[in-house]
Structure 1
């Protein structure tokens, strides 16, 4: 669940030039052999994913591909035609992270073009696990997890019914996602002929999220060090969802929010002239946006400490946290995501020594210290 940021940041001037014409309204020329295509996300308030097209000496490379949906596929194809290429010419696909609005169409692109697909190993492991998972096992894990964090019976009942029915669901989300055939190695340049694109590991939103630094002079001569394809890590007006890294086979107490905050600071020090995110619009002053997000999360953690003046389960904490709509209006599945975000914040507070689990509480409650 992406939380709407408190800051209102206007679209900056000079953030790319939309191409003209009915078929090209969703395409923006960012100069220097970089375009973006607005690929729609069905039934989602984000509206679209910005799929970036990067020219190379061996053919165009896509950064992300968009949701697996017929309208999204058609829009992507029309956008490629608008920039003077076609699906069959795609040389490679670089995925910032495994989420379906970024990786969904990768398999179809590869089938149509023979392109390779590259992803960080941590997210490739999630794709592989999801493809191999039995739906019933995941439902059993989710029901047990939500019970442990204090979810009420009316929320658990549909999951328990599905488990009792043998987990008979058609498929898990992401079960058809393409397995990448190349690994993105943090700190290394990707092998793109004629371009300098360096991978920066930015875990938090997912364990294998990467930003991609185009280490070339900005075509508009903006001050700074090249351009940054930021995926969901750094967005101009939204704070991305930071939840637990869910893995039924791994009981490690990870710290996704800590990972995200550390990654933000690395990106803030990079000094990129312009950021090309996967949602909303291109923007400048990455360091300023990083400061806003760091301040936002510190303010949020402080607010949660106030709520934890009394013992609360993660579910009760999620009910009291501020979201982009009232808790009563959040759908069943999105409440699971919200609770995961509450747990990630609790993990951070515990690691910082600012909160602790109440011994013997079941379901577990937490209290500020």
Structure 2
């Protein structure tokens, strides 16, 4: 990977592909790697970064360092709807007239969020956390925010509505490039990876390059929680979706992975195997914890995280419980755990 300029924020990956490290405010991930792909009709972005003035300044300065401008952007391909990926898409479109493409499942989330009354999300989250056994001390800040009307500051409430659909298996409309969409649900229902079906510029062995979004990262296991939908009636299986998607990516045999966080890397097949093994080990560990009935909250408290439970911030605890729930869903679907009848809040036990 070759550094170009802009205080180490812009990098060249060869073959008309660059990345810009766009900061994420107050987040341990640090930045989103926004990729700039040259096409015959002008640059196309893969993701855009968080909607924040400093992020916008970094993105526009990076484009200037690449001898282009935000006004020249031809299109935006969004790997998934999360605000560190889709946040600046609307502002880029306003400046350039670029199209925005996203998978239909994530576009539905953007539309639903835009149309919902602002309190809907907090009401839903509070109800869900109550159902999984969250203590009153965890619920209190959410109830206070609802009462105080501090709702429109939540990220993603007014994200830009995409105007093109990413269709899995099809080549995207990038003149002069071969970029194929691969549907990889798990992190979100509509997450996509993007396979650049072109010879690697450094002739690395393998089949092209992969813009992997948050699906495949070199040193982080992506968050796999429940697909949040206040009107959800179907019992989804996000972890099952993710594991199947990982195997699909592993079969591509790409030469290099260009992820949305950390750094580009080779050895995609080995990394896929590591993640598959990680989740199998975690499922096995959860079965041991479920020797006695536990609520999802109690299970999350006992799981191994990157720090002790007592040190995990409030918002991150909600995310951790969602991840515990996704693993429980997987165990139940596999017939390895079940809900205890009559328990309230519901508890689960290994079978």
The TM-score by the shorter chain falls in which range?
over 0.9
Residue in 1 aligned with 2:341?
Answer: 359
**Contact (CA 8 Å) 1:87, 1:109: kept in 2 or not?**
yes
Q: Is 2:2 aligned against 1:17?
A: yes
Structure 1 residues without counterparts, runs of 5 or longer: 1-15
Separation in structure 2 between the aligned mates of residue 138 and residue 233 of structure 1, nearest angstrom: 25
Counterpart secondary structure, 2:262 = coil
Corresponding residue of 2:208: 226
CA distance in 2 between partners of 1:157 and 1:56 (Å): 51
SS at match of 2:251: helix
Match of 1:7 in 2: none
- 2:61 alignment partner in structure 1: 78
> In the alignment, what sits opposite 1:10?
none
Displacement of 1:143 in angstroms is 1.5
**Contact preservation (8 Å) 1:139, 1:167:** no
Query: Which runs of 5 or more residues in structure 2 are unaligned?
Result: none
Partner of 1:324 in structure 2?
Answer: 306
Give the superposition deviation at 1:173.
2.2
1:167-206 equivalences under 5 Å are 169-206=151-188
TM-superposed CA distance for 1:198, in Å, is: 0.1
Between the aligned partners of 2:152 and 2:51, the Cα distance in structure 1 is: 17
Listed one character per residue, the Cα deviations across residues 243-278 of structure 1 (whole Å, up to 9, x for unaligned) are: 000101112110000000000000000010000000
Query: Which is further off, 271-280 or 129-138?
Result: 129-138
Counterpart of 2:192 (choices 190, 210, 221) is 210
Once the 2 structures are TM-superposed, how far is the Cα of residue 154 of structure 1 from its aligned partner? 1.3
- 8 Å contact 2:43–2:75 — kept in the other structure? yes
Residue 169 of structure 1: CA displacement?
2.8
Q: For residue 341 of structure 1, what is the aligned residue in structure 2?
A: 323
Report the counterpart of residue 29 of structure 2 in structure 1.
46
- Which structure 2 residues correspond to residues 126-205 of structure 1 after superposition, within 5 A? 126-163=109-146, 165=147, 169-205=151-187
**Higher relative CO (CA 8 A, sep ≥ 6), structure 1 or 2?**
1
Paired residues, what number?
A: 351
Match of 2:106 in 1: 123
The 1:166–1:69 alpha-carbon spacing in structure 2 relative to 1, beyond 3 Å, is: closer
Q: Of 306, 318, 340, which aligns to 2:288? A: 306
Mapped to 2, the partners of 1:68 and 1:162 lie a distance apart of 22
Shift in Å, 1:326: 1.1
- 1:13-68 per-position Cα deviation (integer Å, ceiling 9, x unaligned): xxx11114xx2521111000000110111111111100000000000000000011
**Aligned counterpart in structure 2 of residue 236 of structure 1, from 188, 196, 218:** 218
2:271 corresponds in structure 1 to 289
Shift of 1:167: 5.1
CA RMSD after TM alignment: 1.2
1:87 correspondence with 2:70: yes
Task: Please report how far the alpha carbon of residue 168 of structure 1 lies from its aligned counterpart in structure 2 after TM superposition.
Answer: 5.4
Deviates more, 1:135-144 or 1:74-83: 135-144
Given that 1:58 and 1:193 are in contact with CA atoms closer than 8 Å, whether structure 2 keeps it comes out as: yes
* 3-state SS, counterpart of residue 75 of structure 1: helix
**2:93 pairs with 107, 110, 114, which one?**
110
CA-to-aligned-CA distance 1:75-123 (integer Å, 9 cap, x gap): 1111111111111100000000000100010011001111000000000
User: When the two structures are superposed, what TM-score results if normalisation uses the length of structure 2?
Assistant: 0.98
Q: Tell me the CA shift for residue 162 of structure 1.
A: 4.3
Deviation of 1:136 (Å): 2.2
TM-score (norm 1): 0.93
Please say which of residues 59-68 and 73-82 is displaced more in the overlay: 73-82
Q: Helix, strand or coil: the match of 2:176?
A: coil
Preserved CA contact (<8 Å) 2:118 2:157: no
